[in-house]
């Protein structure tokens, strides 16, 4: 039995018997209508299902972040600390700054432990020189220029004395002068703001102070070599 009739239309079985009937042709001018939901069903077939099904809860707003759970916690802590600081100190909070070293005269006789001051045996007796503390006059090169002038005057004054002894006394002096010049060079090249404000000035003050003490000690030790 043929499935299609002479006109090419599909023949449908009228009963459970072997007889077939032809499907009626649509009336003239009829427009085929799409079954409702057919397009949606076809679209769903092409979409990949979400393997993780989640439901939004009242805590969803607390998890909106650019990072993971650790970033969210850090953000919440930072916001809470900022609110507490604004409540205690006001909206305009000034950052803490380092306090400069006190300008006091050094008196080795009043030091608690004299062994910490250095000695001739260890080569650092110059650290106990009884002179006043003076900070470095800036970082633009003036401090190293003053030390170099005094080094030149020291060499000129005792050039006729024992050169080996003078060289030995000037070793710590030249070492601290080199440290001072490195600090000035770092400042001239443009250090980062925090280092330029705190670290470099402290390093320059220490090198300048120790260089002055080494100068005083060398001059004191070479003073008795004779004219």
Q: What is the pLDDT of residues 167-216, one digit of tens each?
A: 888 899 999 999 999 999 999 988 788 888 888 998 999 999 999 999 99
**pLDDT at residue 224, as a whole number:** 76
Inform me whether the pLDDT recorded for 74 exceeds 70: yes
Q: Which residue has the higher pLDDT, 70 or 38?
A: 70
Nearest Cα to 6, choosing from 26, 20, 17? 20
Q: Structure tokens of 177?
A: 């002068």
The CA distance from 64 to 75, in Å, is: 11
Helix (H, G, I), strand (E, B) or coil at 102: coil
Any domain includes 119: no
Please count the structural domains in the chain: 1
Q: Which residues contact 117 (CB under 8 A, 6 or more apart)?
A: 108, 111, 125, 127, 128
Instruction: Give the mean pLDDT of 95-104.
Output: 65
Q: Around Cβ 180, how many Cβ atoms within 10 Å? A: 27
Any domain includes 144: yes
Any domain includes 95: no
Any domain includes 32: no
**pLDDT at residue 146, as a whole number:** 94
Q: Tell me the angle at which helices 163-189 and 200-222 cross, rounded to the nearest 10 degrees.
A: 160
Confidence at 131, pLDDT banded by 50, 70, 90: confident
Any domain includes 124: no
Any domain includes 18: no
**pLDDT at residue 61, as a whole number:** 56
Give residue 183's domain range: 139-225
Q: Where are the strands (E) in the chain, listed by range?
A: 11-13, 20-22
- Report DSSP state, residue 12: E
Any domain includes 46: no
Any domain includes 187: yes
High-pLDDT (> 90) share of the chain, %: 20
The CA distance from 9 to 85, in Å, is: 85
């Amino acid at each position: 039995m043929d499935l299609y009739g002479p006109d090419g239309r599909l023949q449908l079985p009228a009963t459970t018997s072997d007889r077939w009937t032809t499907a009626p042709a649509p009336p003239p001018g009829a427009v085929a209508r799409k079954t409702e939901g057919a397009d949606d069903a076809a679209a769903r077939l092409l979409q990949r299902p979400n393997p993780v099904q989640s439901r939004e809860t009242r805590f969803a707003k607390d998890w909106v972040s650019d990072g993971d759970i650790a970033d969210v916690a850090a953000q919440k802590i930072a916001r809470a600390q900022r609110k507490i600081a604004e409540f205690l100190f006001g909206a305009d909070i000034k950052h803490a700054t380092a306090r400069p070293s006190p300008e006091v005269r050094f008196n080795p006789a009043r030091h608690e432990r004299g062994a910490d001051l250095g000695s001739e045996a260890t080569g650092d007796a110059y650290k106990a020189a009884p002179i006043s503390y003076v900070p470095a006059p800036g970082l633009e090169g003036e401090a190293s220029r003053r030390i170099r002038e005094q080094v030149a005057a020291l060499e000129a004054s005792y050039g006729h004395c024992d050169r080996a002894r003078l060289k030995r006394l000037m070793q710590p002096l030249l070492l601290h002068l080199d440290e001072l010049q490195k600090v000035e060079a770092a400042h001239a090249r443009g250090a980062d703001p925090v280092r330029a404000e705190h670290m470099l000035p402290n390093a320059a003050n220490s090198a300048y102070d120790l260089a002055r003490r080494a100068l005083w000690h060398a001059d004191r030790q070479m003073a008795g070599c004779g004219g």
